[in-house]
Structure 1
Amino acid sequence: MERKKVAFYTLGCKLNFSETSTIARSFINEGFDRVSFSEHADVYVINTCSVTENADKRFKTIVKQAQKANPKAFVAAIGCYAQLKPQELADVNGVDLVLGATEKFKITDYLNDLTKNDMGEVHSCEIDEADFYVGSYSIGDRTRAFLKVQDGCDYKCTYCTIPLARGISRSDTMDNVLQNAKAISEQGIKEIVLTGVNIGDYGKGEFGNKKHEHTFLDLVTELDKVEGIERLRISSIEPNLLKNDTIDLVSKSRAFVPHFHIPLQSGSNDVLKKMKRRYMRELYVDRVAKVREVMPHACIGVDVIVGFPGETDAHFLETYNFLNELDVSYLHVFTYSERDNTEAANMEGVVPKKVRTKRSKMLRGLSVKKRRSFYESQIGTNRTVLFEGENKEGYIHGFTENYVKVKAPWDPALVNTLQQVTLTKIDEDGLVRFEFAEVCAN
């Protein structure tokens, strides 16, 4: 009997990618073969995101793509958007099944009959029921894996739907994280990126309660000891949860790399208060200064939102000047968009879309300058590069430990190896060229 085929499409964050990977393994355990989304499959699973604008339009396009590949295929929607607006997704032509936050990891239980439904069937919970934890990790890319250590969030930021989509903050057990890390290293993967919704909150809600069994510092200390992992990277951590002892540990660490991604969201204290963030800009300055003190060569990325309700030109300029003067390496710029059931959606002082777009463009331009300046500061230094597996127009790309993107003529022997290099110059496309130093152990 021919094995059934399943294909996946993931929207959104690294956390979604780690969960898609785990769900895909459950299909393989049930006797399915995984194929690419553009191929003919019996089941198409779309892991949705609620953060990106036009999520519904994007979703409809992806469903059409699945139907084009196989009009008779069974189409399932999971993820954050499926939890927040299940009926909206179920009403999309071609969708057979929509699963909420607690059901997505049990998707294979819902697939006894792959006959297409006349109407999308919804199985979703009240988000208060999402109080258990499912560990996940992705191993699709042979050079790096995303390892989920935490889920949900207890913060009440006024623009954010993630607590509504993912529930309370809860964590994996230390033993399980370490076991997953070992399983990843046994696949020959050289780098693990730690992911979660609010990973600095790690330890809360282990075993379904609010007791802190371990802290984030305990977790990174133990992970640093796992043999076989060459690199560990912290994906994104709130400034108020990035403590000095964690920064110090990374600076002296065997495997953790000098790269921090620290959400700011606004450089104006007035706006931060309206967002209900848990810090003021002064704390952010202090965190950047601490990283620079112990790791001058570290890469520091920043999340920032433009066009939040009530953000005046003066507030925006405050943010622009704050970031311009701050010693950071690049920006991830998000244009504010209204989300149902959030406090900010009902706030006064709505910023016109054109103004939001203009501000976003200005900060993206600043990000290009920041990255260029950071790369220039690294020219002449010796770094270790982990090379990736794709041949991109005759070039192989890779990243240094401090997240400088490099390129070299394609050489399959370099794939998934760590090489000592000297950074020599910035190419026209903004990537960095290098010369080989001595070769690291692969």
Structure 2
Amino acid sequence: MKKVAVHVLGCKVNQYEIEGIKELFRERHYKIVDFDEKADVYVIHTCTVTHLGDRKSRQYIRKAVKNNPHAIVAVTGCYAQVSPQEVEKIEGVDIVLGTRDRKEIVDVVEKCQKGRQIKRISDSMLNKEFEELPVFKPSRARAFLKIQEGCDRFCTYCIVPYARGPIKSRDFHNTILEIENLVNNGFQEIVLTGVHLGTYGKDLGKGINLFYLLSELVKISGLKRLRISSLDPDEIDTDLLELMTENEKICPHYHIPLQSGDDLILQKMGRKYTLDDYRRLVTDIRNKRPEAAFTTDVIVGFPGETEELFANTKEFIKEIGFADLHVFKYSPRKGTPAAKYPNQVSTEAKTQRSNELIELSNVLWANYAQGFLGRKAQVLVETKINTLCEGHTGNYLKVRFEANQEDLIGKIISVKLEKIGQAKELLGTVIL
């Protein structure tokens, strides 16, 4: 049996895609092994959102070549798509695939001869059909389903539209059938993912959009939880807001990217909302679901962000009271407008601001979690090692507890939340 080792960098969409790629290899009787092991094939699924993503991608490519100089090394993903010339120049790279044709990766690997490089990079702007990959199933409890690809926003800092191309949606009926099949196979929670999820259906016509899809999905008998990975604030209209706050199947966890807590910076970023818009949305959701968790993405060090403007961001974050933050240091991307903006922020300042927000994030998480101590929560069990179980609540609090019962994975268990653990988790006791 041939061995394949994979490594993925970057976002949740990349995480989903690499699992699909692994499944394609399994179907062809390859054994998936750890990336540190000697393998016949190495696949590096790359990220290019920041310079760090580029650098780490190159590091893992070189590590694969070092692990086995005779192996086939395939490089896929956003870095390969945007900078194929850089990738193909790295010694030992055999396949450069980009953000399309991943379904054919095993065929490409098996046709490849060491030393005769294969390059399959198509113009991302011409890629207008959704590419389906096998479903990501991290446990017998939860399944991720990618239903959307591409972005048409072209925020001034972002390389993603150039790497992923225009918006593309998974077929509506195929999506329904896929989720029905997952539910019939015992999955309690389905997570919908996409590069720009709020645009789902925009390319399908016939009145199909995210609201219509969710309206149909919540009717599926046996589906316990439906989780939405991320939505921009300006994409949540009145109908979608009502559905997301009134239907109990939709998890009360809202990941709504903020990027900056200053209106001037938001405008320079090309974002489509103001702080008042964001504040109003959070208030509307909290009025209907007071215990909802709000998480967000924030970029520090965007060109022109002074200490005063950064302070505005900190204050707005405190005002909203997020449950958690994903903090990114701005990284100039060649070809994006912001890369040429004046008043670029120093590396030292970006690092300092990032550290401040990470510290604030830890405080905010503890404050949010503290409010649930002593209360009962419904926890979907995702892993169990001996008697130690781990899972998440509907509002995405990680919970650990001891239980002797067998076959708990995939079940929703009542747990009393008793104390805060050491790694952004709550510790509890099963309620019999």
* TM-score interval for Structure 1 and Structure 2 normalised by the shorter chain: over 0.9
1:45 counterpart SS class:
strand
Match of 1:299 in 2: 293
1:373 counterpart SS class:
helix
| 1:318-337 equivalence runs, <5 A | 318-337=312-331
Match of 1:400 in 2: 393
Contact 1:421 1:434 in 2 (8 A): yes
Cα distance in 2, alignment partners of residues 428 and 104 from structure 1? 39
Cα distance in 2, alignment partners of residues 376 and 247 from structure 1? 27
Match of 2:132 in 1: 135
Contact 2:383 2:389 in 1 (8 A): yes
Match of 2:417 in 1: 423
Cα distance in 2, alignment partners of residues 87 and 262 from structure 1? 35
Match of 1:51 in 2: 49
Contact 1:101 1:130 in 2 (8 A): no
| 1:249-398 equivalence runs, <5 A | 249-389=243-383, 391=385, 395-398=388-391
The Cα of 1:111 is off from its aligned counterpart by 2.7
Match of 1:32 in 2: 30
- Amino acid across the alignment from 2:300: V
The Cα of 1:52 is off from its aligned counterpart by 4.1
Contact 1:14 1:146 in 2 (8 A): no
Match of 1:94 in 2: 92
- What fraction of aligned residue pairs are identical, expressed as a percent? 37
The one of 198, 204, 226 equivalent to 2:202 is: 204
The one of 63, 66, 69 equivalent to 1:65 is: 63
Contact 1:193 1:232 in 2 (8 A): yes
Match of 2:217 in 1: 223
Which stretches in structure 2 are left out of the alignment for 5+ residues?
none
Cα distance in 2, alignment partners of residues 115 and 345 from structure 1? 39
- Amino acid across the alignment from 2:409: V
Deviations 1:188-241 (A, max 9, x none): 3322211001111111113xxxx3541111111111122343221100100000
Contact 2:189 2:227 in 1 (8 A): yes
Deviations 1:273-299 (A, max 9, x none): 100001111100011101101100111
Contact 2:419 2:428 in 1 (8 A): yes
The one of 6, 9, 24 equivalent to 1:8 is: 6
1:111 counterpart SS class:
helix
Cα distance in 2, alignment partners of residues 391 and 59 from structure 1? 32
2:187 counterpart SS class:
coil
Match of 1:233 in 2: 227
| 1:102-181 equivalence runs, <5 A | 102-117=100-115, 120-136=117-133, 137-181=135-179
The Cα of 1:372 is off from its aligned counterpart by 0.8
Cα distance in 1, alignment partners of residues 322 and 363 from structure 2? 11
Deviations 1:129-149 (A, max 9, x none): 211111342124333221111
Deviations 1:315-369 (A, max 9, x none): 1111111111113211111111111111100000101111111111111111111
2:431 counterpart SS class:
strand
Match of 2:40 in 1: 42
2:257 counterpart SS class:
strand
1:109 counterpart SS class:
helix
Q: Is the alpha carbon distance of 1:250 and 1:437 closer, same or farther for their aligned partners in structure 2, counting shifts above 3 Å?
A: farther
1:149 counterpart SS class:
strand
1:263 counterpart SS class:
coil
Cα distance in 1, alignment partners of residues 206 and 329 from structure 2? 35
Q: Which has the higher contact order (CA 8 A, sep 6+)?
A: 2
1:303 counterpart SS class:
strand
Cα distance in 2, alignment partners of residues 430 and 97 from structure 1? 39
TM-score, normalized by length of structure 1?
Answer: 0.91
Cα distance in 1, alignment partners of residues 44 and 404 from structure 2? 34
Contact 1:102 1:129 in 2 (8 A): no
Choose 195-204 or 142-151, whichever is displaced more. Answer: 142-151
Contact 1:90 1:121 in 2 (8 A): no
Cα distance in 2, alignment partners of residues 116 and 105 from structure 1? 21
Cα distance in 2, alignment partners of residues 124 and 196 from structure 1? 21
The Cα of 1:104 is off from its aligned counterpart by 2.6
TM-score, normalized by length of structure 2?
Answer: 0.93
- Amino acid across the alignment from 2:130: Y
1:265 counterpart SS class:
coil
Q: Is the alpha carbon distance of 1:164 and 1:411 closer, same or farther for their aligned partners in structure 2, counting shifts above 3 Å?
A: farther
The Cα of 1:430 is off from its aligned counterpart by 4.5
Match of 1:248 in 2: 242
The Cα of 1:163 is off from its aligned counterpart by 0.4
